[in-house]
Amino acid sequence: MTTTAAESYILFELAGTAYAIASRDVQRMEMVEHVTPVPNAPAFVEGVVFSRGKVVPAINLRRRFGFQATAFDLRTRLIVVAHADRSVGLIVDSAREFVSIPADAIQPPPETLAGTSGRYLKGVATADDRVILVLDIGGVIDAPET
Amino acid sequence: MHWCLTPVTPEFEESFAEDLEDYVAECADHLSAAREILLDQETSSNPTQISKDQLDGLFRNFHTIKGLSGMVGARVVEEISHRLESYLGIVRKDSSLLTMVGVDVLINGLGVVESAIAAFRDGRPEPNVAALVQRITALSSSLPTGRNTAESPRVADVPMARKAKFTAALGRGDRLCIVTFSPAPDVAARGVDVNVVRSRLQAVGEILHAEPKSVAGGLQFLFVLAVNPAADFTGWPADNIRVEPYSPAAELAEVSDPGQTALPLTSVNLVRVDLARLDDIMRSLGEMVLTRARLENSLGRAAQFLPPGERRDLEETVQGLDRQLRDLREGVMRVRLVPIRDLFSRMRLVVRDLTRETGKDIDLVVSGEETEIDKFVVERLADPLLHLVRNAVSHGLESAADRVAAGKPPRGRLALRAAAVGGTIVLEVEDDGRGVQFEAVFARARSAGLIAVDATTDPMAVLDLICAPGFSTRDEVDRGSGRGVGLDVARRAIEQGLAGSLTLDSRQGAGTRFTARLPLTLIVADVLTVSVGGQTYAVPQTVVREVIPVEAGSTIVLENNELIRHHGGVLPLLRLDDLFHHPRPVGSYVALVVGDGTSAMALAVDRAVGMREVVVRPLTDLLVQAPGIGGATELGDGRPVLILDPAGLARYNRRRVAGSPVRAGGLS
């Protein structure tokens, strides 16, 4: 159907919006268990978790994007991403779908897009009548300058 | 009021605890040696044919355990090992007397002795040994010399508990003898009873030991008496008080067996070292490495002022030091390594029991037993390995009928392998059973909403799923898909407890292989766990000098510092609740005194929880490199616990309070 290569993405939801991360960046998805807060870490860092025996930081993506943080529930997921030799967990409202998005279906993010997640976007995709924000993992897990 | 970290216990209790530790450790050595011999024996082509060396070895193992148990007062252990030793004593005279039942009783006995030792150590009730005793008795009495050997009064039964007295008496040059008094009506009629005998003996020498013994025909009293060698003491035969010379030297020695050929020694060149001492050495080494780095820095700064020849010399010296330190570090690491053999032997025993339980015939193939692994790791590996082996036998391997139906040989095959690959130990538990039913696992995960419909189906994902909470509860599905409970426990222990990894390979119908990769050595530290604002933190024990209780409102505020009185002086108080933005505790709390001299300070925490030995993991990611946090660990519940770095906390505090006054103490 498409002329360009399609890549597999994991879809997740955050504050009612659909986001996508490239499957190749995702190491695994887990239920959120035992997050230990790290005092004086950046506010969007929920803490550290054990994932496959490694201690990895867990980012609360709601806080990262400036949304109201909510309590975790059964749908809450930890998506562990690997990027530039780092492993970082992203806490999202829910995640359970894989989609294939052709490269030409992803548009660069409009500069006028409101909301703080704009800084972490690689593009906007339209698939199955849905608008999906495609994340730039490097930007999301970058440590803020102190 | 303060208390030190070292528990203050009465001296005797402390020394008893130490003795007990030595006792358990030494017994463990003998048990594992005996276990090895017996298991080899049982699996050999001709189990009842045993070499003299092996019999001697077994005899010595039980003999030593008996002696040690007598010294610490572990009566049940002493009793059983004595009976096993007696049986072995008979078999040693004629090895053709060893039967399959005998080997089985010995293995059974080994397990009972082990659990009795553990019960003694933990102060638990003694295990029930009646069945075993009955088996041994039946076995011994079936032998030609059985009864006799088991019941003749044995010198070895007497003296171990009184070792010190005996040694002292021998040291004085006293002559020791065994005095037996057999009460009889005619003697009693003359007024000679055991109390009379006792006072008579006390007049002649020192009674080192006394015990009643039941013998054929009634009761007998046995005394060990130390008398002056010049005295001519022959007892009172007319009153049924008889004297035999007694030489306890052999019994007092570690290994004894007068009248037999010398037994092969196993431990002549071995030294038992407490791991804590090695840790101390490692710590000193760590400090030396830092000193070397400082030396190198100074050299770098001074280099420009030095003549080239001098500089080169110094640089070479520093390089030499670097190399030597690395060698030394490796040497110490090597000392901590022990072969994995003992752990594998335990698994052989487990498989043996499982074979009986499940009725499945299993060939256990073990390789790489000589692989050396850190003592700390080995001790914590037993449990996860047990789970993996159990899982393989119970759920991996099929019944003989199913195997034949599937075109496989009826006997299942279970392989245990260990190998050192680079700085890693690779352990494999592999069965040739039915394999994991991937599709069943995925179908269930999909229906439970654990994975997306088109999720990849790689083995790693399967391992995640079968270890996932909420997945392991449905037992019937799990069994059907070839897994059992305990896997999650095994994985957690390996990954979180030992900083290793566990992977799964499985081919449906052909078998399953679990591979654990473990670091050769770990950074292990003793920590004090504390609670701050409801969170648990760990503080390296080496930096904590004291733990002191602090009453609310007892602190002094001085400019930007809060101080507490301590040993006639004052210490700056750093409140972790403030640093970590937790509310301050209500009422009294606890402070850890850390640092030395001018850098000494008190860290206020809500309360001290306990002491633990933990595996330290670095926190490398920038996102969580928070001030005063030195690393993370785990206390067994899968929850990461942060390890505090008091020096870093102090630095952070200095920056933080510069300019802003702290809250007045005691307001909370």
Whether B449 has its CB under 8 Å from any CB of chain A: the answer is yes
Q: Partners of B363 in the beta sheet?
A: B413
Chain B residues with beta carbon closer than 8 angstroms to that of A55: 617, 619, 632, 640
All residues at 6 or more sequence positions from B334 whose CB lies less than 8 Å from its CB, including other chains: B372
In a domain, B6, yes or no: no
Same domain membership, residue B619 and residue B485: no
**Kind of pairing, strands B601-605 and B629-634?**
unpaired
Residue B208 main-chain phi, psi, to 5 deg: -90, -25
Total domains present in chain B: 5
User: Nearest to residue B3, comparing CAs of B621, B369, B473, B547?
Assistant: B547
| CA pair distance A26, A137, nearest whole angstrom | 10
CA of A28 vs chain B CAs: smallest distance (Å): 8
Q: What integer pLDDT is reported at residue B71 of this predicted model?
A: 76
Banded pLDDT at A13 (limits 50, 70, 90): very high
- Cβ within 8 Å, pair A97-B619: no
Best residue in A55, A64, A137 for a mutation probing chain B (most B CBs within 10 Å): A55
For A57, the closest of B451, B501, B621 (CB atoms) is B621
Instruction: Look at residues B252, B267, B290 and tell me which one is the last residue of a structural domain.
Output: B252
| CA pair distance B435, B443, nearest whole angstrom | 16
CA of A129 vs chain B CAs: smallest distance (Å): 20
ipTM of the complex: 0.89
For A48, the closest of B579, B619, B638 (CB atoms) is B619
Cβ–Cβ under 8 Å, residues B608 and B657: no
Instruction: Look at residues B287, B317, B335 and tell me which one is the last residue of a structural domain.
Output: B335
| CA pair distance B326, B330, nearest whole angstrom | 6
In a domain, B2, yes or no: no
Whether B581 has its CB under 8 Å from any CB of chain A: the answer is yes
Same domain membership, residue B471 and residue B548: no
Q: What integer pLDDT is reported at residue B539 of this predicted model?
A: 92
DSSP B493: I
Instruction: Look at residues B119, B152, B185 and tell me which one is the last residue of a structural domain.
Output: B152
| CA pair distance B279, B426, nearest whole angstrom | 25
Q: What integer pLDDT is reported at residue A93 of this predicted model?
A: 94
Q: What integer pLDDT is reported at residue A77 of this predicted model?
A: 92
Same domain membership, residue B391 and residue B453: yes
In a domain, B508, yes or no: yes
Handedness of CA B531, B534, B537, B543 (dihedral sign): negative
- Cβ within 8 Å, pair B629-A50: no
Helices (H), B123-206: 130-141, 146-151, 163-172, 185-189, 194-204
- Quick: pLDDT tens for B594-641: 877 777 889 999 999 988 878 888 787 888 888 888 889 888 777 899
CA of B641 vs chain A CAs: smallest distance (Å): 7
Whether B579 has its CB under 8 Å from any CB of chain A: the answer is yes
In a domain, B667, yes or no: no
CA B62 → CA B153, B346, B559, distances in Å?
18, 18, 70
- Domain locations in chain A as residue ranges: 8-141
Cβ–Cβ under 8 Å, residues B159 and B208: yes
Q: What integer pLDDT is reported at residue B25 of this predicted model?
A: 83
Banded pLDDT at A35 (limits 50, 70, 90): very high
A-B interface: how many C-beta pairs under 8 angstroms?
A: 93
CA B315 → CA B289, B297, B311, B633, distances in Å?
16, 11, 6, 38
- Quick: pLDDT tens for A38-82: 999 999 999 999 887 788 999 999 999 888 989 998 889 999 999
For A39, the closest of B499, B581, B634 (CB atoms) is B581
- B395 CA to centre of own chain: 29
Cβ–Cβ under 8 Å, residues A48 and A95: no
Give the CA-trace dihedral at B483, B488, B491, B492, to 10 degrees.
-170
- Interior CA angle at A65 toward A61 and A70, to 5°? 55
Whether A55 has its CB under 8 Å from any CB of chain B: the answer is yes
Whether B424 has its CB under 8 Å from any CB of chain A: the answer is no
Whether A39 has its CB under 8 Å from any CB of chain B: the answer is yes
Banded pLDDT at A113 (limits 50, 70, 90): low
In three-state secondary structure terms, B433 is coil
Which two three-digit tokens encode residue B520? Answer: 């050769």
Structural domain boundaries, residue B326: 276-335
Q: In 10 A of CB B96, how many CB atoms?
A: 9
Cβ–Cβ under 8 Å, residues A46 and A59: yes
**Kind of pairing, strands A17-22 and A6-14?**
antiparallel
- What average pLDDT does the structure give for chain A? 85
Whether A141 has its CB under 8 Å from any CB of chain B: the answer is yes
- pLDDT above 90: residue B7: no
Best residue in B577, B579, B622 for a mutation probing chain A (most A CBs within 10 Å): B622
Q: Partners of B214 in the beta sheet?
A: B219
Same domain membership, residue B388 and residue B515: yes
Which two three-digit tokens encode residue B552? Answer: 């609310």
Same domain membership, residue B591 and residue B487: no
Same domain membership, residue B512 and residue B472: yes
Chain B residues with beta carbon closer than 8 angstroms to that of A47: 624, 640
Q: What is the CATH number of the domain that holds B574?
A: 2.40.50.180
- Quick: pLDDT tens for B530-570: 999 999 999 988 788 889 999 888 888 887 788 998 888 88
Chain A residues with beta carbon closer than 8 angstroms to that of B652: 40
For A41, the closest of B579, B617, B624 (CB atoms) is B624
For B639, the closest of A31, A36, A41 (CB atoms) is A36
Cβ–Cβ under 8 Å, residues A119 and A139: yes
Whether B494 has its CB under 8 Å from any CB of chain A: the answer is yes
All residues at 6 or more sequence positions from A75 whose CB lies less than 8 Å from its CB, including other chains: A93, A94
- Cβ within 8 Å, pair A41-B626: yes
Q: What integer pLDDT is reported at residue B261 of this predicted model?
A: 36
- Quick: pLDDT tens for B104-136: 888 888 888 988 888 888 888 888 888 888 888
- Quick: pLDDT tens for B203-250: 888 888 777 776 666 777 888 888 887 777 888 888 888 887 776 544
B566-572 long-range CB contacts below 8 Å, 24 or more apart? B566/B2, B566/B593, B566/B602, B571/B600, B571/B601, B571/B602, B572/B601, B572/B602
Best residue in B624, B633, B635 for a mutation probing chain A (most A CBs within 10 Å): B624
For A39, the closest of B452, B454, B580 (CB atoms) is B580
Residue B13 main-chain phi, psi, to 5 deg: -65, -40
Q: What integer pLDDT is reported at residue B257 of this predicted model?
A: 36
In a domain, B261, yes or no: no
Same domain membership, residue B515 and residue B528: no
Whether B496 has its CB under 8 Å from any CB of chain A: the answer is yes
Q: Which residue type sits at B248?
A: P
Query: Over pLDDT 70: what percentage of chain A?
Result: 90
For A52, the closest of B452, B495, B639 (CB atoms) is B495
Q: What integer pLDDT is reported at residue B590 of this predicted model?
A: 93
- pLDDT above 80: residue B353: yes
- Cβ within 8 Å, pair A141-B464: no
Domain A8-141 adopts which CATH fold? OB fold (Dihydrolipoamide Acetyltransferase, E2P) (2.40.50)
Best residue in A36, A59, A90, A92 for a mutation probing chain B (most B CBs within 10 Å): A36
Same domain membership, residue B217 and residue B172: yes
User: Nearest to residue B566, comparing CAs of B574, B555, B582?
Assistant: B555
Which two three-digit tokens encode residue B336? Answer: 């901590």
CA B30 → CA A45, B266, B353, distances in Å?
52, 10, 21
- Cβ within 8 Å, pair A53-B500: yes
In a domain, B265, yes or no: no
For B623, the closest of A41, A49, A97 (CB atoms) is A41
Cβ–Cβ under 8 Å, residues B615 and B499: yes
Which two three-digit tokens encode residue A9? Answer: 């993405």
- Quick: pLDDT tens for B408-459: 999 999 999 999 887 788 999 999 998 888 777 777 777 776 666 666 666 6
- Cβ within 8 Å, pair A39-B629: yes
Q: What integer pLDDT is reported at residue B435 of this predicted model?
A: 86
- pLDDT above 80: residue B270: no
Which two three-digit tokens encode residue B178? Answer: 């065994």
CA of B247 vs chain A CAs: smallest distance (Å): 59
- Cβ within 8 Å, pair B623-A33: no
Mean pLDDT on B169-173: 74
Q: Nearest chain A residue to B634 by CA: give it.
A: A50
Same domain membership, residue B462 and residue B443: yes
Q: Does residue B567 come out as left (phi exceeding 0), alpha (psi in the -120 to 50 range) or beta?
A: left
Interface of B with A in 620-659 (CB under 8 A): 621-624, 626-629, 632, 634, 637-642, 652
Cβ–Cβ under 8 Å, residues B509 and B439: no
Chain A residues with beta carbon closer than 8 angstroms to that of B495: 50, 52-53
In a domain, B56, yes or no: yes
In a domain, B307, yes or no: yes
| CA pair distance B315, A115, nearest whole angstrom | 58
All residues at 6 or more sequence positions from B397 whose CB lies less than 8 Å from its CB, including other chains: B360, B362, B403, B412, B414, B431, B432, B433, B434
Same domain membership, residue B499 and residue B378: yes
Chain B residues with beta carbon closer than 8 angstroms to that of A86: 621
All residues at 6 or more sequence positions from A43 whose CB lies less than 8 Å from its CB, including other chains: A63
Please identify which residue in the block is written with the tokens 């009864």.
Answer: B147
- What average pLDDT does the structure give for chain B? 78
- Interior CA angle at B644 toward B649 and B569, to 5°? 55
Burial classification of residue B168, based on how many CB atoms lie within 10 Å of its CB (0-12 exposed, 13-18 middle, 19 or more buried): middle
- Cβ within 8 Å, pair B535-A37: yes
Mean pLDDT on B10-16: 47
Same domain membership, residue B465 and residue B415: yes
Which two three-digit tokens encode residue B150? Answer: 């088991």
Same domain membership, residue B403 and residue B295: no
DSSP string, B442-482: HHHHHHTTSS-TT----HHHHHHHHHSTTTTT-HHHHHHTT
Whether B476 has its CB under 8 Å from any CB of chain A: the answer is no
Whether A108 has its CB under 8 Å from any CB of chain B: the answer is no
Q: Does residue B240 come out as left (phi exceeding 0), alpha (psi in the -120 to 50 range) or beta?
A: left
Whether A24 has its CB under 8 Å from any CB of chain B: the answer is no
